Amino acid sequence: MANKLSSAEITAKMLCVPQWSRSGDLIERTFAFPDFIASMRFVNQMATEAERTQHHPDILVKYNKVTLGYSTHDAGGLTVKDFDGAIAADTACGI
């Protein structure tokens, strides 16, 4: 199990993912794509990454927009795994 990050650690990690926002024990970002097919390609990439790392985001699809949310429920808050997932998503999106 990953260790829950302190408030100071979370603040520092948020600097690495500037397009993500924090809401309590969750970080999230909405990605926009040209169309539904591109959105689903991204979702499939993220599903593969989630299985590889055994850390699964919440995923909301609205046609050409995909919102990802990360939180480590068994740690009771945000961990390094959440920020690793956010960075992987940004990389998959080409950022």
Q: Mean pLDDT in runs of 10 for the chain (95 residues)? A: 91 97 96 96 96 96 98 94 96 78
CA dist 88 and 93 (Å) reads 9
Asked if residue 28 lies in contact with residue 21, where contact means CB atoms within 8 angstroms, the answer is yes
Number of independent structural domains in the chain:
1
pTM over 0.75: yes
- CATH number of residue 46's parent domain: 3.30.1360.20
Give residue 62's domain range.
7-92
For 31, residues 6+ apart whose C-beta sits below 8 A from its C-beta are: 39, 42, 65, 66, 67, 68, 89, 93
2 within some domain: no
